[in-house]
Amino acid sequence: MRQSHLFPVILTGLIGAAGLFVAIHASAQDSPDGDRVDCRDLEAMPTPSSALEWFERSLWANNCYVFEARAVRIGFDGVRTLSLSHVVQDGIQREEITFLDGPPVAVERTGRIGRLKGADGTDASASPFDIVDHLDEFYRLQLGGQERIANRRTLRIDIDPLDGLRLGHRLWVDTDTGLPLKQVLEDETGRAIETFQFTDLVNPRLYQGELLMEIPRVSPEAAWRTGWLPEGFLPQAVETNSSRHDEDVVHRLFSDGLSTLSLFVEPLDDAIFLSPGMHRLGISYAAVRHRDLGGQRRQVVVMGELPPRVLLRVADTLQWNGDNQTNDDIRASEKVVQSD
């Protein structure tokens, strides 16, 4: 029995909000070619005056500042403390996260700046920060009050979905650097699901050079396609090739610029399978279905920081190319989403 391709992403889900601050980072590319972003431009930018401008500033800062920090993560499974660092070398970023209590967990991410529109034929952004224009279509961003966090002055950005298909966010941005020092993810009732907060920010320094952006690439063809996705979720190219998995194991990633959705399909007969239904993984949920697709029993897993009913509908409406599309599961899942 092979190891399921799902487990590395399960680890990310268990890490929780710590991953939200590095979500814009992409896997490293070998080629030195591609677009670049000059961090020195940040020094000449005027002070933001709107919530959208502050959010854009936080994206610049999150990529362009070199720093070390201590933080606390508060979730359904308790309180964890961690250390993290962000460094840049030759235009490539490296983020290290180490939990300081509880089960030992350490994660390192290295790469270029990711693109929101860089896969499956969609237009590649000239700048990663075009994300704010996309977000404005699906979220309402408003400025909140000021607060002192990690002994620094911050400004709160309230990010609320314009539909019932996403979750709300609260983001506290350092008014000096633009770095996001605190983030709260809320459920559909406004209850905090998880809080991630810096407790100490050490010597943040603006990188004096250019950052490399991910080179646009197209995801490989799959034998299946999504039957439904929330509006605004765009396919993102991800590397899923591994010597441990054959071509039957497929992973796809979708994003609206703030929230992400991971979709896995693999044969059920030789996978480490999960029981059908909803599973809680840190701040994420995972919807699991065992379905007959393409003449074979397969496991479909959909993960993300989204309402569970949304993940279930994505799993239930996945379509295998060539299969009969009249599916009771599809009709039932549509009723679930519409009823809420």
Q: Which domains, ranges and CATH numbers included, belong to the chain?
A: 7-212 (2.50.20.10), 224-339 (3.30.200.100)
pLDDT at 241 over 60: no
pLDDT at 2 over 50: no
Instruction: Fill in the DSSP letter of residue 46.
Output: P
Confidence (pLDDT) at 50 = 95
How far is 160 from 232, CA to CA, in rounded Å? 15
Q: Cα 332 from chain centroid?
A: 28
How far is 40 from 305, CA to CA, in rounded Å? 33
Highest averaged pLDDT of the listed ranges 221-225, 257-261, 312-316: 312-316
Question: Is residue 115 very low, low, confident or very high in pLDDT (cuts 50, 70, 90)?
Answer: low
Averaged pLDDT for residues 302-324:
91
How far is 13 from 17, CA to CA, in rounded Å? 9
Confidence (pLDDT) at 325 = 55
Confidence (pLDDT) at 249 = 66
In the block, residue with structure tokens 């590319």 = 29
Averaged pLDDT for residues 17-29:
41
- Residues 5-22: tens digit of each pLDDT: 444 444 444 445 444 443
Q: What percent of the chain has pLDDT over 90?
A: 50
Question: Is residue 217 very low, low, confident or very high in pLDDT (cuts 50, 70, 90)?
Answer: low
How far is 207 from 141, CA to CA, in rounded Å? 28
308-317 and 328-339 helices, crossing angle to 10°: 160
| Lowest mean pLDDT segment, chosen from 71-75, 124-128, 269-273 | 124-128
Confidence (pLDDT) at 239 = 54
Averaged pLDDT for residues 187-204:
93
Question: Is residue 29 very low, low, confident or very high in pLDDT (cuts 50, 70, 90)?
Answer: very low
pLDDT at 185 over 60: yes
Report whether 129 contacts 56 (CB < 8 A). Answer: yes
Averaged pLDDT for residues 142-157:
97
Averaged pLDDT for residues 198-223:
84
| Collapsed DSSP state (helix, strand, coil) of residue 18 | helix
Confidence (pLDDT) at 121 = 47
Backbone φ and ψ of 289, nearest 5°: -130, 145
Averaged pLDDT for residues 234-245:
59
Tell me the three-class secondary structure of 91-139, residue by residue.
Answer: CEEEEEEEECCCCCCEEEEEECECCCCCCCCCCCCCCHHHHHHHHCCCE
Averaged pLDDT for residues 216-224:
69
- Residues 165-174: tens digit of each pLDDT: 999 999 999 9
Q: Tell me the H-state helices in the chain.
A: 7-15, 51-64, 131-135, 308-317, 328-339
Query: Where is pLDDT greater, at 202 or 13?
Result: 202
Query: Taking CA 54 as the corner, what is the angle to CA 52 and CA 57, rounded to the nearest 5 degrees?
Result: 110
pTM of the model: 0.82
Highest averaged pLDDT of the listed ranges 127-131, 145-149, 257-261: 145-149
Confidence (pLDDT) at 138 = 94
Structure tokens at 135: 């977000």
- The average confidence (pLDDT) of the chain is 81
- Residues 328-338: tens digit of each pLDDT: 544 444 444 44
